[in-house]
Amino acid sequence: MTALVLLGPVVSQTVWAQSTYSPPQFGNQTSNPGINAGRFILYPAVSFNYAHDDNMFYQSDDLPGVEPVESGRIEIVPRLLIDLPLSRSRVRLQYAPLFRDYLNHEVAQVNKWSHFFDFEASILMADVFTVALRDHYVSGSQEVQEFDPGGEIRFNLAPFTLHEPSVEFSLDAGVRHRFSFIPRFSTLDFDEGPGQIFYDYKRRGYEGRYTFKVSPETQVFAYTISDYTQQERIQTFYGDVDVDLRTTGIGLQRLAGGIITTGGSIGWEQQDYTGGGGGDYAGIAADINVGLSPSDVMRFELMFRRGAFQSFYVNNNYYINLEGRLRMLRQLGRSAFWQVALTLAQNDYGDATDVTMTANNVPSDDTDNDGYIDLFESFLPSQGVVRRDQAAAIDLSAGWRLRPTLRFLVGYNHQRRDSNVVQDIGGEFAETADYTDNRVYVTLEMGFL
């Protein structure tokens, strides 16, 4: 059953984001023998993906004179994981270039290639002291889930580079106690271009964690996180924004066969903003995952998340993301499975829509002298409205393990978003943030992943 479960997460992505490739986590390769090459173990693979969307740009059908764009999408993704197990340490790196092409020429890509690189080196310096170096690097365009985990952004063609290095220092105090200190740094850089709405940022911070091992399978932990983000916004009349984030909480993890089957954390988070057009945030942050296998052929997975994310919209500093996901997987014989996944999500924004001129505006931002920023004047029908987006998605798929190194997946995805934002388009009011999309997809994977 393990090989089939590993295929399932191909479609277990957030409802908000364009469904794009995400490299598998290092932990997914533990049960595969790979190819021995001296002291190295190699896991080569390639996947061929095809998908067809009836609303590629997630356009609202309420827009006057605009028809949703249909398109097929082809992706070819070779992947290579290199594993170097050492006597007291381990080094792993993974590289996956992605080629993507659309069958509709209305989708004008600046670059058809994306690149994913992950590195991890765990070094046991002494019997009780471990240092782990990690790096995550993405050069892409449509992989919005990489920089927008809350799902604010629907579609993106602007090339970006994301770099997230970190280091973890861990000290064991006996067999049950572990103290960890994790400094982190990340940067997000978009290529400059006309119509660019995103902002670059630099983020640095750390996490301190205490872990108590209740048993070999179960551990509880307490943590504190501090992050400082410097945004570089293009809309200069709101100024650049600095964000000071602090989170403190507790959590639990329960393992089975090296895989987290039950885990979660809950804490209190504060986000203090300097600059921008909105207020600060303070509230509960929760992330809960539960896996249940009532039989050898049936598995249920439940996820719930509540958290605040920094917003890309100019007059909102943040939004609160509520998301729940239920997935049911049923094995058929030794080499096939089917699954159903349901996702419900809601984004609540912190401040009302406000397009009035501010002290940071220059007179040229309001050429008609009506007191509103010309660039956002079409949003006047939503002036004073606190934005709320709601989404739902259902995903149906079936997979077959044709050979130990050959896997096949076919599925259907339907998603819908409703928003209370209304925009004036040429004198007609339209709910421009609403959309529906239907997608069919096929994936063929070959290799040792």
- Read off the pLDDT of residues 29-88 as tens digits, 9 standing for 90 and up: 545 688 888 899 999 999 999 999 999 888 888 888 788 889 999 999 999 999 999 888
The tens digit of pLDDT for each residue in 88-140 reads: 889 999 999 999 999 988 788 888 999 999 999 999 988 899 999 999 999 99
What CATH number belongs to 2-447?
2.40.170
Structure tokens at 434: 């609403």
The token pair at 134 is 């990690």
Which residue ranges make up each domain of the chain? 2-447
What pLDDT score does 19 carry?
53
Tell me what the mean pLDDT of segment 310-332 comes to: 90
pLDDT of residue 24: 66
Q: Is 286 within 8 Å of 305 (Cβ atoms)? A: yes
pLDDT at 66: 81
pLDDT at res. 254:
87
How many Cα neighbours within 13 Å face the side chain of 178?
Answer: 22
pLDDT tens for 141-195 read 888 889 888 888 878 888 999 999 999 999 999 899 999 999 999 999 998 765 5
Residue 347 scores a pLDDT above 90: yes
Supply the pTM of this predicted model: 0.87
Residue 260 and residue 254: Cα distance in Å, rounded?
6
| Cβ neighbours of residue 373 closer than 8 Å, sequence gap 6 or more | 237, 355, 356, 357, 361, 365, 366
Q: Please, are residues 138 and 119 in contact by the beta-carbon 8 Å criterion? A: no
pLDDT of residue 239: 67
pLDDT in tens, 399-429: 999 988 899 999 999 999 999 989 888 888 8
Asked whether 48 and 76 are in contact (CB, 8 A), the reply is: yes
285: closest CA among 259, 306, 300? 306
Find out whether 291 and 301 touch, Cβ atoms under 8 Å. Answer: yes
**Structure tokens, 174:** 């006996």
What six digits make up the tokens of 306? 């509540």
CB–CB of 439/69 below 8 Å?
Answer: no
Q: How much is the pLDDT for 149?
A: 87
Indicate whether 259 pLDDT > 70.
Answer: no
Decide if pLDDT at 310 tops 70.
yes
Question: What is the pLDDT, as a whole number, of residue 1?
Answer: 33
**Average model confidence (pLDDT) across the chain:** 87
Residue 429, SS3? strand
Q: Tell how strand 435-447 and strand 406-419 pair up.
A: antiparallel
Q: How much is the pLDDT for 418? A: 94
Tell me the mean pLDDT in the region 278-290. 93
Question: Given a cut of 80, is residue 258 above it in pLDDT?
Answer: no
Name the helix (H) or strand (E) containing 404. none
